[in-house]
């Protein structure tokens, strides 16, 4: 659909609609959340359109469906209430970005390696900071494959290495 530029993971939400207390009754409607990870240059409208096309091609005759971006109700620190798309776009700093290269140099000096890597197949608040014009790198201890699970842990060595890295970046 989009080549290797995006990765799609699917989380199926709970059913909603006409449902009784009997567990074997098929609900009238079902909601699903589809988590799409995309490069910054992939337009969200293109993703929604492509997913709607795919959905329509694969629905049975008695079924209907539509893919939409989830809307979030947010309140700013100033009290302004907004409705925004639940969209966290990807971001990337150019390889020749001076700030990125300074971070790489400092981490390389104190850690003896470049722990920043190239592309992270996950997101965090860094993309929001980048959208606000703040250049951002992701650096920290641990293994992303177990992040936010009951298996998440770091060794004392990883902890101390990250402290040294954070100090080098801050100074």
Question: What is 98-170's CATH topology?
Answer: DNA polymerase; domain 1 (1.10.150)
Rounded to two decimals, what is the model's pTM? 0.60
Please say if the pLDDT value at position 27 is more than 60: yes
Measure the CA–CA gap between 83 and 65, rounded to whole angstroms: 23
Highest-pLDDT range among 6-10, 81-85, 131-135, 154-158:
154-158
Domain parsing of the chain, residue ranges = 3-85, 98-170
pLDDT of residue 1: 47
Measure the CA–CA gap between 13 and 162, rounded to whole angstroms: 36
| 54-57: long-range contacts, CB 8 A cutoff, minimum separation 24 | 54/1
SS3 state of residue 169: helix
Q: What is the pLDDT confidence band of residue 2, given thresholds at 50, 70 and 90?
A: very low
- Under 8 Å CB-to-CB from 158, ≥6 apart: which residues? 141, 142
Write out the H or E segment, with its range, that includes residue 86. none
- The mean-pLDDT minimum among 44-48, 117-121, 146-150 falls in 117-121
């Amino acid at each position: 659909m989009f080549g290797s530029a995006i990765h799609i993971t699917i989380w199926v939400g709970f059913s909603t609609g006409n449902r009784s207390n009997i567990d074997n009754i098929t609900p009238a409607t079902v909601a699903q959340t589809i988590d799409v990870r995309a490069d910054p240059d992939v337009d969200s409208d293109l993703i929604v359109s492509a997913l709607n096309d795919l959905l329509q091609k694969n629905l049975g005759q008695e079924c209907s469906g539509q893919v939409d971006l989830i809307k979030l109700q947010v309140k700013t620190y100033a009290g302004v209430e907004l409705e925004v798309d639940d969209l966290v776009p990807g971001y990337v700093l150019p390889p020749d970005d001076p700030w990125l290269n300074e971070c790489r140099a400092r981490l390389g000096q104190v850690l003896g390696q470049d722990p920043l890597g190239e592309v992270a197949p996950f997101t965090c608040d860094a993309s929001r900071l980048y959208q606000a014009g703040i250049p951002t790198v992701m650096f920290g201890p641990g293994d992303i494959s177990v992040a936010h699970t009951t298996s998440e842990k770091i060794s004392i060595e990883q902890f101390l290495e990250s402290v040294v890295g954070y100090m080098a970046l801050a100074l």
